[in-house]
Structure 1
Amino acid sequence: MRFILPFVGICTACLPSAIVAQEAAPSGVPHGQVAIGAGVAPEYDGSSDVRAIPFVLADIRWQGINFEFRGLRARADLVSDPRFAIGPVIGARLDRSGVDGPVGLLPEIDAAIEAGAFIGYRFGGDRLGQGSLLLDLTAVHDVSNTHKGLLATASASYAAVRKPNTFVTVDVQTTWANADYTRTYFGVPAGEAVRSGLDAYRPGSGIRDVGAGLSAGYYFDRHFGVIARAGATYLVGDIADSPVTELGSRWQPLGGVTLSYRF
């Protein structure tokens, strides 16, 4: 079984800022939280099988910049503002190789490096953020010449519970992808149709998926706690009609449980 580190795409705001524990943190000293555990994710885009994965989340604030890590994707909020956030994003999309069945007879796909930017704004909420609504838009482009595609994700996260040692966040999201991405991961070139036994298929650009999730965490003391995440996306549009998806599933689950440390 291969292991991967996924990007938690619908968990942009699943970690609360460690505001209570870090109110007295000395200036210039990094502070935040890191969560490491295990979870499950689809074997590949459109697969009905899941694989075991390491599950990694982190928020670290240093020198006025908030660094966020979600699996293989990282971003930096360059604006020291409790409401507004903007900055660069970089991450990896792993390869599709060693797959069983007809999909495994299609050309293998190398790992891709994607880079771009995000912008977000938080509405409402009390001092700890409870009751706040975070709207976020992220756009990334392949810079590794693997799929040459562009993806844009819009998400909304609501902080239903945000206490010093407890939080619950619910979120929804949708992703648009251009034709370069969809044809790389969900297309079946005419020259590969006979060898794989799949119908030739050439998808276009459009909405890739819609999804929702729930994140919850509890800290036992000042430093240690647990964070859990459960969510799924549902493939739509041309991607949903792909032979790759028809052999797999339109439902793409992602979840995990971590041990968290805040400092």
Structure 2
Amino acid sequence: MVSGRKWMACAVIALWPLQAMAEQATPAASGAPMVPGGPMVGPPRGDHLTLGLGTLYSAGYDGSNRYRARVLPVIDYAKGRFFVNMRQGIGFRLAETGGRKASASLAAGLTYVPGYRRSDVPAGVGPLRAGMGLRVTANGRVGPLVGSLGVTKPVLGGSEGVLADASIGMPWRIAPKLGAMTSLRLGWADGDYNRAYHGIDAVRAAASGLPQFRPGGGLREVGAQVALNYRVTDRISLTASGGVSTLLGDIRHSPLVKDATQPVGIVSLSYRFGK
């Protein structure tokens, strides 16, 4: 379950299972699950475009006790090996292999790496600029299980270091037009990322009055989620997803962490263009 509860959890904890269900009721001819965020695993399903809007309810940052609703776009576009989607960002499929029973794929591109606003954190801490990161994602499917492993290196914005996340899920067909997906996610970050996101250096400490805090790297968060998708028509899908995550390791003790365990929820409506 794309870290921080970033665009990829708030879209790699939230949007992966949400998008995985958005077209689950209409599987591709290859048998691979399909997502508005791009193919989760397996052979590509050809050129396509899905657009929509979603509302995300989540904390202002990882560890915050203040929550707000935000509007997010839902997009899944592919032309040849080029893709734009919410789970993997903007990039290219590098390789794919497999068939109906098992498959794997590899993709690389640019993805959004969030920060936080000055108003989200205690006075004197200051904002963390959002930016972009280079992301490599490996996807796999074995029978009904689907999984994803991603590594992100921030290159623009206030974040530093390296992030990694692993997700595993299973789709369920409840009714002809209704599907569900349960998933688990584990996140990891190195010390540079954790210090940029949750650290309190001497400058921040002097400005905020908070104690200095210098976390190391390691497992960052674990989360679970359930998503439901209802196929309103052959082209329109309504998806609702809810989950919970908890921070792990050193960052749980950061002065910025008010709630280590946080809920997240998304509702979205999307439309599939073309054939």
TM-score by length of 1: 0.81
- Structure 1 residue 189, shift from structure 2 partner: 0.8
Maintained 8 Å contact 2:111/2:135? no
- Structure 1 residue 164, shift from structure 2 partner: 5.6
Separation in 2, partners of 1:31, 1:140? 26
From the superposition, tell whether residues 146 and 73 of structure 1 become closer, same or farther in structure 2 (CA, over 3 Å): same
- Structure 1 residue 76, shift from structure 2 partner: 4.4
Maintained 8 Å contact 1:113/1:143? yes
Structural mapping, 1:65-214, within 5 Å:
65=81, 67=83, 69-70=85-86, 73-74=89-90, 76-81=92-97, 83-99=103-119, 103-124=122-143, 132-144=144-156, 146-161=158-173, 165-214=177-226
Please state whether the residue corresponding to 1:104 is helix, strand or coil: coil
- Structure 1 residue 74, shift from structure 2 partner: 4.3
What is the count of residue pairs matched by the alignment? 244
Among residues 9, 12, 34, which one is paired with 2:12 in the alignment? 9
From the superposition, tell whether residues 66 and 160 of structure 1 become closer, same or farther in structure 2 (CA, over 3 Å): farther
User: In the TM superposition, what whole-angstrom CA distance separates every residue of 1:45-95 from its partner, at most 9, and x where no partner exists?
Assistant: 3211111111333334433x4735227944544445452111114212233
Among residues 59, 63, 76, which one is paired with 1:46 in the alignment? 63
From the superposition, tell whether residues 94 and 100 of structure 1 become closer, same or farther in structure 2 (CA, over 3 Å): closer
Maintained 8 Å contact 1:36/1:54? yes
Please state whether the residue corresponding to 1:169 is helix, strand or coil: strand
Amino acid at match of 1:224: I
Separation in 2, partners of 1:67, 1:97? 29
Separation in 2, partners of 1:70, 1:123? 23
From the superposition, tell whether residues 49 and 95 of structure 1 become closer, same or farther in structure 2 (CA, over 3 Å): same
Q: Which residue of structure 2 lines up, in the alignment, with residue 260 of structure 1?
A: 270
Separation in 2, partners of 1:233, 1:215? 15
Separation in 2, partners of 1:195, 1:107? 9
From the superposition, tell whether residues 57 and 199 of structure 1 become closer, same or farther in structure 2 (CA, over 3 Å): same
User: In the TM superposition, what whole-angstrom CA distance separates every residue of 1:177-197 from its partner, at most 9, and x where no partner exists?
Assistant: 001110011111123323312
Q: Which residue of structure 2 lines up, in the alignment, with residue 128 of structure 1?
A: none
TM-score by length of 2: 0.78
From the superposition, tell whether residues 98 and 108 of structure 1 become closer, same or farther in structure 2 (CA, over 3 Å): closer
From the superposition, tell whether residues 257 and 122 of structure 1 become closer, same or farther in structure 2 (CA, over 3 Å): same
Maintained 8 Å contact 2:147/2:166? yes
Stretch of structure 1 that moved more, 108-117 or 196-205: 108-117
RMSD: 2.8
Separation in 2, partners of 1:251, 1:175? 14
From the superposition, tell whether residues 37 and 186 of structure 1 become closer, same or farther in structure 2 (CA, over 3 Å): same
Among residues 233, 257, 264, which one is paired with 1:221 in the alignment? 233
From the superposition, tell whether residues 106 and 217 of structure 1 become closer, same or farther in structure 2 (CA, over 3 Å): same
* Structure 1 gap ranges (5+): 125-131
